[in-house]
Structure formats: C-alpha cells, structure tokens
Structure 1
Amino acid sequence: MKWPLVLFLVLVTACGIYDFLSMRVPNCLTVSLIFIGLAYRAWTGDWWGGFWGALVWFVIGVAMVATGGMGGGDVKFMAAIGAWAGVYGGLLVFAAASLIGAAWAVVKLARLGLLKQKLLYLFYWCSSVFTGIRQPLLVEKTPGEGVPREAIPFAACLAAGVWALAIALWYARYVWFMRY
C-alpha cells in the first residue's frame, strides 16, 4: 500500500470519528485533505482530475446545504474526497455513503419513534415534485437551534463509504482477480 493512500485513509478516518462524536468536521482536516489531495494528484500527473473532482463535489455539496441536507463541514469533506478520488471515484464514495446513511437514518428514526412520521412526510414531499404543490424541507431547523436530533453525521458515512470502497477495490484486485 502506498503511503499517500495510508495518509488519506488516516485523515478520512479522523474526520469520520470527529463528526461521529461531535456532529462537526474540523476545517484543519478537510482543508488539509483538499490541498494534499491536489498535490498528490499533481505529483501523479492528473492535477485536473483532482481539481474537477474537488470542484464538482463542492458544488454538489453546496446544493445539498441549500436544501438542508447537510452541513458546511460535509461539503468541504466531499470536496476533499473529490480531490483524491476524482469525479467518478467521488460518485462511488457518495453512493456508498448514501446507502450507509439511509440505513443509519432508518434505524435512528425507528429508535426515536419518528420513522412512520418521516416516511409519510417524505412521501408527501416527493409527491409535491410531481404535483407542483410546495412542501417544506425534510429537516427544518429554527435559528438558534442546534443540530436536529434525527440528524445523521454524514461525514462519518462518507468515511465509511471510503473504507467500503477501499476494501472492495482491495478484494477485487488481490483476491478475486488472482483466482482467474
């Protein structure tokens, strides 16, 4: 395993653990990940791939913040993953993180007794897309209120998605392909 990948996994794990414990992602870790990722991509000769990955995932993250889906630290963390993995690698990580986050949300909402209410709300909100009747956002937060109790630390899901993808790629490369 190359040392840049080890550094990436250590910093990603630190971001995930910090978000899990405090529902925040420190700027010192995410900004460092972005710059180190861009430097690594420049060193490997694919600076533009890292730049476009960071930019695309930053823009997608900003759009998700605007809809109330995540916080600002998650946006920078997504940009950092994009800087390292590129646009398509970031897409794989985002897909894995979304599945992990959805499973986590279902379990958390069931434990809080809010699953039925949120599923009905989600149904009405999705139906408003087709009918044109406006519905409020899924996670409503009043000014001055902290993190909603049903919120999921998405950077922790992103870190788990990075690890899931790393393990799947390792398995595909060293176990599955070596058989054939």
Structure 2
Amino acid sequence: MLQIIPALLVAITVVIQCLAVQMSLYRLSRMNARPPHHGLALMSGMLAAAAIILRLYQNDSAVGVLFMTIMTGCMTLMTLTDAASCRLPRPFTIMYLISGSAFRLWQGDWLTGLCSAGFWFLLLLLFRQYTSYRRKTETIGLGDVFLIAGIAIWSPPGDIPWIVATAAGGALLYLWCNRQRRITRELPFGPFLCASQYAFTFYPGGLW
C-alpha cells in the first residue's frame, strides 16, 4: 500500500496542473486576453512534477507533499494568467494565501507564517503607495503584493528577501536581454516570483 502513495501523489500533481491550466485559460477568455504560449504551461508542469518527485525522493511526509501539489498548482495558475494578461486575479492570490495558511497550521507554526505574510504585505503596500505618489505611476501591482505575501506564508522568513531579489534580478536580466526589442506592454512580475520560489523549493529546507 505504501508503494502506491508516491505514484498517487504524482498523479494528483498532474491532475492539479491540468486543472490550473484550464482555470487559467477560462479566466483569460473572460478577460479577452490571448492565452500564453504552450511552452510556458509545459515548463510549469515539468517544474511542478520535478519538485514533487524530488520531495518524494527525499522521503518527505505524504501530507507535506500533498500541500506542495496545491502550491505548485497555484503557482502555475498565477504564472500563466499573469504572463498573458499582466494581471493577478484576487481569487487566485487569496487561494494561495489560504492554502499556505493551512500548510503552516499543519506544521504548527501558523503564527510565524501569518506574521511574515503580514509584514511583507504592509511593507510592500506602503512602498507601492509611496512610489505611486512620487512617480505618478504604479511600480508594483497589488496582485504582486498579495503574491509576495503568499510566498512569505509558504516559505521560511529568511528566504523571502532572496526570493524577491532573485525574481527582480530575473526580470532585469530579461529586460537587458530584450533591450534591442521594443517592449510595448508592462512586464508581468508574477512569473519571475513563481520561478524564483521554485528555485528555492528545490533547495533543501526551502519549504520545511
């Protein structure tokens, strides 16, 4: 019976990834936005499967890995939607926050996760308000603020600055590599944040 659990968790991961892609496509159709490239969905699914298999190989608990399948589904959902529309719908980020809260409650350190998420949410909200007032333009979207708060509740407090900094570095590198092309729309930050969290997920101790 125990030998079936890893295969079952991988199967659940595949199902959740497929549901995330379908939910993203449905939301984008409601927003009249073009769907993202198929390669992005495939890459997100492969990263999710690799992360789950790695955790299973490290003999992590089945409940913890199950929570991770939910986390990767939320990340795929937000990555695809933000990449195509430059928008992070509030229901997606709230779902990410709620599932992260349940994960921390299962771990027994719900208060730590809540304080970390609250700190980053308030800090980035104040930064957003200040820079919007000074520059008369939005420097970071409210959806990204909610997403970073979600990352803060899922990840150890010490990793959050590195995750955000890595995402910002990835976005700057993307802009530098495409400096010859004229980018006609704003750059979505959500995919870079999710990719950065994936990178730290592969690092031992990146979630628990």
TM-score, with structure 1 as normaliser: 0.68
Distance 1:53 1:26 in 2: 22
Pair 1:156-2:191 in alignment: yes
Pair 1:73-2:143 in alignment: yes
Q: Which residue of 1 aligns with 2:27?
A: none
- RCO higher in 1 or 2 (8 Å CA, sep ≥ 6)? 1
Q: Which residue of 2 aligns with 1:54?
A: 117
Q: Does the 8 Å CA contact 2:96/2:150 hold for their aligned counterparts?
A: yes
Q: Which entry has the higher C-alpha Rg, 1 or 2? A: 1
How far does the alpha carbon of each residue in 1:75-109 deviate from its partner, in whole angstroms, 9 at most, with x for none? 11111111111432222211211111111122344
Q: Does the 8 Å CA contact 1:19/1:25 hold for their aligned counterparts?
A: yes
Distance 1:155 1:64 in 2: 17
TM-score, with structure 2 as normaliser: 0.59
Number of matched pairs:
136
Among 147, 150, 170, the alignment partner of 1:100 is 170
4+ residue segments displaced more than 3 Å: none
Pair 1:166-2:197 in alignment: no
Q: Which residue of 2 aligns with 1:8?
A: 71
Shift in CA distance, 72/110, structure 1 to aligned 2, threshold 3 Å: same
Amino acid at match of 1:51: L
Q: Does the 8 Å CA contact 2:70/2:99 hold for their aligned counterparts?
A: no
Shift in CA distance, 43/61, structure 1 to aligned 2, threshold 3 Å: same
How far does the alpha carbon of each residue in 1:87-136 deviate from its partner, in whole angstroms, 9 at most, with x for none? 322222112111111111223443128xxxxxxxxxxxxxxxxxxxxxxx
Q: Which residue of 2 aligns with 1:121?
A: none
Q: Does the 8 Å CA contact 1:38/1:47 hold for their aligned counterparts?
A: yes
Q: Which residue of 1 aligns with 2:83?
A: 20
Structure 1: stretches of 5+ with no match in the other structure: 114-148, 173-180
Q: Does the 8 Å CA contact 1:50/1:83 hold for their aligned counterparts?
A: yes
Distance 2:203 2:99 in 1: 24
Q: Give 1:165 shift.
A: 1.5
Among 111, 125, 141, the alignment partner of 2:181 is 111
